[in-house]
């Protein structure tokens, strides 16, 4: 439902076309139209949608299907195709006229599908029109800039990030070490700060950091890049593969950066990325202030006149790079991230959740809803637990303790308690053994206390201080065998011909040298 909400927001708040929304939301145009039509029929606006839960929105948009649908009149697609050639006529207008004539006719999404089937094979070519404040094209330059390590003399090539506004050609450029996701998103944050605003649409090339799969009709946006776009309330419309006209604007900007910035720096030596970026910024200001040859003004003056007034304001907090992973809530109502465990509400045990992490915070989501948030903790093997996440009987205790687990284990037999205590004693931190101990005690529900206690005694006898050892013993029925006997110590014999330790001591209590054979 999160994608459906994004589609409705882009249509009702941003006013984008169904084609633009399809590119931004990674779905077919027919699907976008279907969602918009359902919202129209449900008579709900964005303010209502934003406050609705996923379940309520699903009931509104997808009511029970009626199987008693009558055969619908088919529109005259030849006439529709001719009408679309007239200026200002759209499929939306023609569909509304069709429904006026045939109230029981096809819905908008099916109407469009029928027309697309009729018009298949027609090659439509669109002229590129760049409206003020609308599109910002981003890419990397094919050329790099060398940076010399002052300590080792090693030369490392820095990547050059380039962005160009569609209407004014106002340009931004900077150097980063890589084209990876972290550098890619960080460059966007600094780019927006340089513009002091946000355009309506971002147009990246099909770089892996921005576009996971460069499909012609349905490109897949990298999830992290999509979250950056949502944070800045901007739409991502990647260029189409093998369509050079889509990225002509940024390629021209890349060429300018190569000629007016990188070429001017080719004979200079830089010893840090910061030093290189200071030089790039100085030449970038000159490039944006450089007068046009055939037009009045410069890139900066045109930007101030056309683009800047229409840019959206920056969010109060810049985007912070985040990483996501899926995990399953364990029996101890914790999830693990980089060796540290964070609590979630105990009712979520067994659910698959998503973990969003930044350098400072860890957030846990269930079906798109945040259910827990913790400060980031780098302590390996540690626990971060919120008391509200505990079940009532656990909340009475301040926290999980070794004493509590041992007391609990005694209900399953002394052998279980001894093994639990031995496991936690063997760990550097007792908490590292909690999860394994809980797993051992759960085995009693399957095999009974008697077998579990016998298996734990055998694990103690063989030094198998782990959940895996107890499980293996039970699976192989070794708990039914006699415990291995300890090897008895030999008695000390007394005989007149046996020399004791005193024989080798002199009167001063010092050992004599052993006699040698001659």
Tell me: the pLDDT tens digits for 182-235? 888 899 999 999 999 999 888 887 655 444 444 333 445 677 888 888 899 988
Beta partners for residue 156, in sequence order: 147
pLDDT reported for residue 192? 94
Half-sphere exposure of 138 (CA within 13 A, CB side): 26
Residues 333 and 68: their CA atoms lie apart, in Å, by 48
Both tokens of residue 288?
């944006």
pLDDT reported for residue 400? 58
Give the residue ranges of the chain where pLDDT is below 70: 1, 63-71, 78-79, 81-89, 119-130, 206-221, 240-250, 294-296, 393-401, 428-431, 485-518
Helix (H) or strand (E) holding 497: none
Here the contacts of 66-72 (C-beta below 8 Å, separation 24 or greater) are 70/104, 72/102, 72/104, 72/105, 72/106
Here the contacts of 392-398 (C-beta below 8 Å, separation 24 or greater) are 394/346
- This model's pTM is above 0.75: no
Both tokens of residue 502?
């005193």
Q: Render pLDDT for 198-211 as a digit per residue (tens, 0 to 9).
A: 998 888 876 554 44
For the chain, what is the radius of gyration of the CA atoms?
36
Domains along the chain with CATH numbers:
2-64+71-118 (no CATH), 135-310 (3.30.420.10), 323-395 (no CATH), 402-480 (no CATH)
Q: Cα torsion at 277, 283, 285, 287 (round to 10°)? A: -130
pLDDT reported for residue 412? 78
Mean predicted lDDT score pLDDT of the chain:
78
How wide is the angle at C-alpha 197 spanned by C-alphas 284 and 136, nearest 5°? Answer: 65
pLDDT reported for residue 511? 45
pLDDT reported for residue 254? 82
Residues 257 and 424: their CA atoms lie apart, in Å, by 62
Q: Going along 42-118, which residue ranges are E strands?
A: none
CB count, 10 Å around CB of 279?
Answer: 16
What single DSSP character describes residue 398? S
pLDDT reported for residue 89? 67
């Amino acid at each position: 439902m999160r994608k459906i909400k994004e589609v409705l927001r882009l249509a009702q708040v941003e006013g984008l076309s169904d084609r633009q929304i399809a590119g931004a939301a990674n779905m077919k145009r027919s699907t976008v139209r279907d969602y918009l039509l359902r919202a129209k029929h449900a008579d709900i606006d964005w303010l209502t949608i934003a406050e609705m839960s996923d379940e309520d929105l699903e009931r509104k948009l997808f009511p029970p299907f009626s199987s008693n649908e009558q055969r619908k009149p088919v529109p005259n697609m030849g006439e529709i195709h001719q009408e679309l050639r007239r200026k200002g006529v759209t499929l939306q207008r023609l569909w509304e006229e069709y429904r006026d004539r045939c109230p029981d006719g096809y819905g908008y999404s099916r109407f469009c599908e029928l027309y697309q089937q009729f018009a298949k094979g027609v090659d439509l070519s669109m002229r590129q029109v760049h409206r003020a404040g609308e599109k910002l094209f981003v890419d990397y330059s094919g050329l790099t800039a060398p940076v010399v390590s002052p300590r080792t003399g090693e030369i490392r090539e820095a990547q050059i990030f380039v962005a160009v506004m569609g209407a004014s050609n106002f340009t931004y450029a900077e150097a980063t070490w890589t084209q990876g996701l972290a550098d890619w998103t960080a460059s966007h944050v600094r780019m927006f700060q340089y513009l002091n605003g946000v355009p309506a649409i971002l147009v990246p090339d099909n770089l892996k950091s921005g576009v996971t799969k460069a499909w012609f009709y349905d490109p897949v946006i990298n999830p992290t890049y999509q979250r950056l776009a949502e944070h800045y309330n901007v739409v991502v419309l990647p260029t189409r593969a093998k369509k050079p006209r889509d990225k002509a604007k940024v390629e021209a900007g890349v060429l300018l950066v190569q000629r007016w910035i990188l070429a001017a720096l080719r004979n200079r030596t830089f010893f840090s990325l910061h030093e290189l970026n200071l030089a790039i910024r100085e030449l970038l200001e000159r490039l944006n202030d450089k007068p046009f040859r055939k037009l009045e003004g410069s890139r900066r003056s045109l930007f101030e006149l056309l683009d800047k007034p229409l840019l959206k304001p920056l969010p109060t907090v810049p985007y912070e790079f985040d990483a996501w992973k899926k995990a399953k809530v364990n029996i101890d109502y914790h999830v693990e991230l980089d060796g540290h465990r964070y609590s979630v509400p105990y009712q979520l045990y067994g659910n698959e959740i998503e973990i969003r992490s930044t350098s400072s915070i860890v957030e846990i989501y269930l079906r798109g809803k945040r259910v827990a948030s913790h400060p980031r903790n780098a302590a390996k093997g540690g626990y971060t637990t919120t008391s509200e996440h505990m079940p009532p009987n656990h909340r009475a205790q301040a926290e999980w303790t070794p004493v509590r687990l041992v007391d609990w284990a005694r209900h399953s037999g002394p052998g279980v308690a001894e093994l639990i205590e031995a496991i936690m004693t063997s760990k550097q931190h007792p908490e590292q053994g909690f999860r394994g101990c809980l797993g051992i005690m759960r085995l009693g529900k399957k095999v009974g206390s008697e077998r579990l206690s016998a298996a734990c005694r055998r694990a103690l006898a063989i030094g198998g201080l782990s959940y895996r050892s107890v499980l293996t013993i039970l699976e192989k029925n070794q708990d039914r065998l006699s415990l291995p006997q300890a090897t008895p110590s030999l008695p000390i014999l007394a005989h007149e011909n046996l020399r004791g330790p005193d024989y080798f001591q002199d009167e001063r209590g010092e050992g004599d040298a052993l006699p040698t054979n001659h």
